[in-house]
Structure 1
Amino acid sequence: MNEVFLGRLPILDNKQNIVAFELLFRSNQLNKVRVTDNRAASANVIIDTYGQLGIENVMGKRRGFIKVDAKFLMSDAVFLLPKSQIVFEILRNVEIDDAIIERCKEIRQKGYQIALTGVVQVDERLDRLMPMVNVVKVNVSELESKELVRLIKKLRRWPVLLLAEKVESRETARKCIELGFNMLQGFYFARPEIISGKRIDPSKLSLLKLLLLVVKDSEVVDIENELKYQPGLSYNLLRMVNSAATGTARTVNSIKRAIMILGRKQLQRWVQILLYSAKQKDGSTSDALIQTASVRGKLLELIAIADRPHDKNHHDRAFMVGVLSLLDTLLGMKMSELVKTLSIQKDMSDALLSRRGYLGRQLALIEAHEIGEFETVSSILSELGFLNMTEFTQLELEALVWANRINDMVNSEC
């Protein structure tokens, strides 16, 4: 199998729920973007997504945005794709002539969605196309506040969804949400926002207390007592243990019995994931954080298994490092404070604080891949010496499948 370099950038709604992914072409020679033929780039994304990787693994039930140029838009290949999952993202350099207008009308009539990318102004060229457009992606990094307000006012003449792209900070994200953007694209959700004296949400504080009890190998009775004060958590625990996946013959009604059946390691993982799904004050959940933390945890565990196949303790530490790597973002606390509170092993704290050591370098690998820094990915893979890019991609797909399944279960329980 040829090496597959497929970037997958989350698109979020204004409550941090993942609603779609942009699928990004990556050159399999230099491990970075080098697009000389946009039509070929789009074709590669489609072939890799639907062929080698499997669309359900890459996107789950969400939509995928794919950049297209005029040649690809005019080709018959567009109608081979499922209209329920694909959004054609028209590049800025596409000349909007009569042929393109007619083609977009045809595409819309057949039930497909169209997006415009990199919009910074509305001119006659876009005016003609706007009636066929579903989503307008505004490059907010190129516009001053007043320019952005004027552009939004013009775009509101059409019934389109507005997507802010190049959102690189929470401050920018908040501003875009206030201005009425429906969706956001960027890496702001994975960047720590440290607010001095910030209080942890009570629901998250209870989960953190429970996690501490499990991590510190406390007595079952102490864990049971903490759960008894949290009816929602107790209900979810009993529901999980009584699911078909556990293979229990009789219904389990005791919290203590549920803990014994599930086991400490699985209980720890369940609590870690639930931390990210705890309801916010506005009723939303940090869906993007759930997804990213889940994938990081499982992928880091799979890398650890490839590295040390028989060291189960190492595998568990790797999973925990991956999931906890976004806890500072979630709770608004410094990672150093969280590490001190959790009293975890030195290799784990080194990984979380400074990306040092085996686990630290493997976490740095995953983070570089998340933001498309493929030169760094290639460099770290060479440094580690036991994985190539193809093998890493396969492990990532396994992690995505697992994370999608876990997150569906978590969301159904919240």
Structure 2
Amino acid sequence: MLELVGTVEASEPVLWRLAELTGHGFRFAAEASRHGSRLGQLLPLIDFVKVDLRAMPAATMLALVPRLRGTGKRLIAEKVESQAEYKTCLDLGFDYFQGFYFARPSVLTGRKLSPSQQALVELMNLVMSDVDNIDIERAIKRDMTLSINLLRIVNTPAAGLRQRIDSLSQALLVLGRRQLQRWLQIMLYAEPGTRGPGHTPLLMLASTRARLMELLAQRLRPGQRQVADIAFTVGITSLMDTLFCVPMADLAEQMGVSDEVADALLRRTGFFGELLRLAESFEQMEEGGDVLPALRELAASGDDLAELEMAAFEWSEQVVRYAL
């Protein structure tokens, strides 16, 4: 789908070109408030109408949306920043939603992890302890669903393995504990008991952020594998307060993270905190976020960041395809 920006005039040559392209299978979208009175001329040639919640008064939107629905166009709510806005737009009849509403934590004080989630966290702690591999394998085998899902996700192309893994013992041997830890962290987002309308994009955002931070750490601290692993952990953990509806401070305590990881998650300080701020700024760039201060602090270039972001997105897409 191609979006017609607000500067596109509904002139005769433009309308003719749109008609030609739609005949070749192209589909177009236009944002309602930016096109104003020109939207009526564009409607016959577009499939999607976007409504920017930040640019359109609520009263105008309430009057406009029913009319747009009558045209048969698919409606996209843009810049949806809270669950309340998402619910309002859903009730109005919007078809699609853009924004970070799914990544905002709805914190329920005192809420604990579910038994299955707690089991995954305990297994993650076990993997990083000094116990023998056979003890880890036994712990995983106690939950057949966990065993099956783990084998499925470690065989994703994103794992980069040249051989298929068919057993838990092989997974431990081939992957190593740090790699196994990362797939367990990802599985928390794909855990069956937590799935819902927001969890697919949340998994995508968390895995992309974690991979970007890992790649940045590799670029900035070459040869320091442990630093890249910690960067991934910080990224994947940074949205778990949203996933579990638990304050991040409580979550960090329950998971027993190190001081440098806690500083990054709670205060955005230290090397990993700066990486996290950079990743968050990049995600919000279309919403007016500024990545330049963080880039300067990390001595990274915008071109490097764009290249790494694309690589992280492609990796995450593979993860999501196999994880759900």
For residues 197 and 120 of structure 1, the distance between their equivalents in structure 2, rounded to whole angstroms, comes to 44
Contact 1:276 1:285 in 2 (8 A): no
Match of 1:371 in 2: 284
Q: For 2:46 and 2:228, how far apart are their aligned partners in 1?
A: 47
Task: State the SS of the aligned residue for 1:141.
Answer: coil
CA gap of 1:256–1:375, structure 2 versus 1, over 3 A, is closer
* Matched AA of 1:343: G
* Larger proportion of helix: 2
Q: Is the 1:279–1:285 Cα contact (8 Å) retained in structure 2?
A: no
Q: What is the SS of the residue equivalent to 1:136? A: strand
Shift of 1:379: 2.0
1:139 paired residue among 52, 55, 74: 52
Aligned-partner Cα distance in 1 for 2:94–2:288: 30
CA 1:344–1:177 in 2, change beyond 3 Å: closer, same or farther?
A: same
Corresponding position of 1:395: 308
Structure with the higher fraction of residues in strand conformation: 1
The 1-side partners of 2:20 and 2:304 are apart by: 41
Q: What pairs with 1:36-55 in structure 2 (closer than 5 Å)?
A: none
Rounded to whole Å, the distance in 2 between the matches of 1:90 and 1:190 is 27
Change (3 A) 1:284 1:354: same
Question: What is the distance in 2 between the residues matched to 1:195 and 1:408?
Answer: 30
The alpha-carbon deviation at position 280 of structure 1 amounts to 5.6
1:319 aligns with 2:232: yes
Matched, 1:127 2:40: yes
In 1, the alpha carbon distance for the partners of 2:46 and 2:24 equals 14
Change in CA separation of 1:197 and 1:304 when aligned onto 2, cut-off 3 Å: same
Q: Does residue 213 of structure 1 match 2:162?
A: no
- 1:94 and 1:376, CA in 2 relative to 1: closer, same or farther beyond 3 A? closer
- The answer (yes or no) to whether the contact 1:300–1:322 under 8 Å persists in 2 is yes
Give deviations 1:44-72, integer Å, cap 9, x for gaps: xxxxxxxxxxxxxxxxxxxxxxxxxxxxx
Question: 1:323-334 counterparts in 2 under 5 A?
Answer: 323-334=236-247
Aligned to 1:54: none
1:298 paired to 2:298:
no
**CA distance in 2 between partners of 1:282 and 1:163 (Å):** 23
Q: Residues 71-150 of structure 1: matches in 2 within 5 Å?
A: 87-119=1-33, 123=37, 125-150=38-63
SS at match of 2:216: helix
* CA distance in 1: counterparts of 2:149 and 2:203, whole angstroms: 17
CA contact (8 A) 1:203 1:279 kept: no
Percent identity between matched residues is 35
Residue 168 in structure 1 maps to residue 48 in structure 2: no
Corresponding position of 1:380: 294
Work out the CA distance in 2 between the residues paired with 1:344 and 1:282.
Answer: 25
**Secondary structure of the equivalent of 2:54?**
helix
Aligned residues: CA RMSD? 3.0
In 1, Cα distance between equivalents of 2:11 and 2:302: 41
Taking structure 1 as the reference length, what is the TM-score of the superposition? 0.68
Aligned length in residues: 321
TM-score w.r.t. the length of structure 2 is 0.85
Gaps of 5+ in 1: 1-86
Aligned to 1:352: 265
Which digits, 9 at most, give the CA deviation of each residue in 1:167-211, with x for residues without a partner? 122221222122221111122233322123446455544433333
Query: Structure 1: how far apart are the matches of 2:45 and 2:72?
Result: 10
Structure 2: unaligned runs, 5 residues or longer: none
